[in-house]
Amino acid sequence: MTNFNVQNNDLHVFESLESEVRSYCRSFPTKFQKASGYQLWDANGRCYTDFFAGAGALNYGHNEPRMKEQLLQYLTGDGVTHSLDMATEAKEKFLSAFHDIILKPRKLKYKVMFPGPTGTNSVESALKLARKITGRETIMSFTNAFHGMTLGALAVTGNKFKRNGAGVPLNHTVSMPYDGYMGKDIDSLQFIENYLQDSGSGMSLPAAVIVETIQGEGGINVASTEWLQGLERLCRSYGMLLIVDDVQMGCGRTGTFFSFERSGIEPDIVCMSKSISGYGLPMAITLLKPELDEWTPGEHNGTFRGNNLAFITATEALQYWKTDKFSTEIAVKAEKVAQALARLVKKYPELKGEYRGLGLMQGIALEPGIADQLSKLAFERGLIMETSGTDSEVIKIMPPLTIDISALEAGLQILDECMQEVLVEANNEAQVVNS
């Protein structure tokens, strides 16, 4: 381990000048300086393995060389950086590549809208459009959903703490049980359909249903393919638009470009952000079926919808999807993680872990406090690993998809050591209590 140089790693500027709202820097308290692929280095030169990937914004790793090369060429050539939503060559290339590489082979016909460059802005645009098209007000969302921090997106988010931040009533939404929320043997879709059917349920017919195919922030809850298909059928029966929020699960996180490909459903609207630029640059898109494109010019506007630097890297990122090779590689790594986590759950039965996940979005749900403890211990050993779930009860393994197998195994070995240490600490505490 590198010597800890307090001066280099002094965090007082952040502690004294930056708002208390800062959060991730509390879980990973160091000053980062450099990054490449799946690794980050702090100001002391200490190296960290990244199992967090910018919360899903760095699926292709940090400073991916081919994207960097394209970006540098564009910058040195004085390519347009900012352009509102004016037509630029960079945007044209992205739109054409997205059509040719992603939509066409999947036989998907979507028009691409550029909302403001965040996931939450894509969600806001989707909700607005659904309400406009249907003339209905209510949006159906799900327990433990996370869709963003602006008022519309918060209104469809489950987390009480985040919702309370709004300071105003969050209404015109209805939260329904996600797949598995009512227990393994209860079909929550049947429950939802009862509400939709029953004129005494007190629920207005929703304009749309917004759903994550796997709830990333909500605790790595995976919706089954049957549930997603059933949800699509409900949407069609009751004239509700189906919005898939693929902000975190899109761009390959679950193994395919769109997370809904495994279920064969065809959402009316798809929200994407995070890894769509490929390089961690701000960018979002909202995909809509052409017949839903009832926007009038400027009806959903924003200054930073023409982030051409992001279009340049996003176009390069799409090259990963020209063949099936990338998906195949993700599946191999996902299997490694699944096996390792299943092994850990078995190896440490005292921790009562429950395996969750799919693709390179996997984790273990644990008793309160343990996941936070593991994240802290992992950081001390040079592994950046976040928690998820309303009570931070799940450790979340989401490395860049490009990580190599040996690094993946090394990170999982660190997790193993941390679980062991948590157990030793718990046993020591129990002995103190008993003595």
Cα separation, 150 vs 163, in Å, equals: 10
When the beta carbons of 146 and 379 are compared against ligand PMP, the nearer one is 146
Element (H, E) at 379: helix 370-380
Map the footprint of ligand PMP across residues 195-214, applying CB under 6 A. Answer: 212
Which residue spans within 260-330 are E strands per DSSP?
269-272, 285-288
User: Could you tell me the smallest distance in angstroms from the CB atom of residue 280 to ligand PMP?
Assistant: 11
Q: Is 216 in the site for ligand PMP (CB under 6 A)?
A: yes
Cα separation, 38 vs 49, in Å, equals: 6
Tell me which stretch binds ligand PMP (CB under 6 A): 25-33, 74-82, 85-93, 244-252.
244-252
Q: Residue from 40, 53, 101, 123 that binds ligand PMP (CB under 6 A)?
A: 123
In order of 191, 261, 262, 288, the CA distances from 229 in angstroms are 16, 11, 10, 19
Q: Is 248 in the site for ligand PMP (CB under 6 A)?
A: yes
Q: Is 277 in the site for ligand PMP (CB under 6 A)?
A: no
Map the footprint of ligand PMP across residues 141-200, applying CB under 6 A. Answer: 146-148
Q: Which residue is nearest to ligand PMP (CB)?
A: 119
Tell me which stretch binds ligand PMP (CB under 6 A): 21-29, 116-124, 180-188, 419-427.
116-124
Map the footprint of ligand PMP across residues 217-236, applying CB under 6 A. Answer: 217
When the beta carbons of 46 and 147 are compared against ligand PMP, the nearer one is 147
Q: Is 119 in the site for ligand PMP (CB under 6 A)?
A: yes
Question: Measuring CA to CA, which residue among 112, 120, 137, 152 is closest to residue 295?
Answer: 112
Q: Is 276 in the site for ligand PMP (CB under 6 A)?
A: no
Distance of CA 255 to the CA centre of its chain: 13
User: Could you tell me the smallest distance in angstroms from the CB atom of residue 29 to ligand PMP?
Assistant: 21
**3-class secondary structure, 33:** strand
Cα separation, 1 vs 5, in Å, equals: 12
Cα separation, 326 vs 151, in Å, equals: 37
Which residue in this structure is represented by tokens 């917004």? Answer: 210
Q: Residue from 30, 118, 213, 388 that binds ligand PMP (CB under 6 A)?
A: 118
CB 150 within 8 A of CB 300: no
Which residues make up the interface to ligand PMP (CB under 6 A)? 55, 118-120, 123, 146-148, 212, 216-217, 245, 247-248, 273
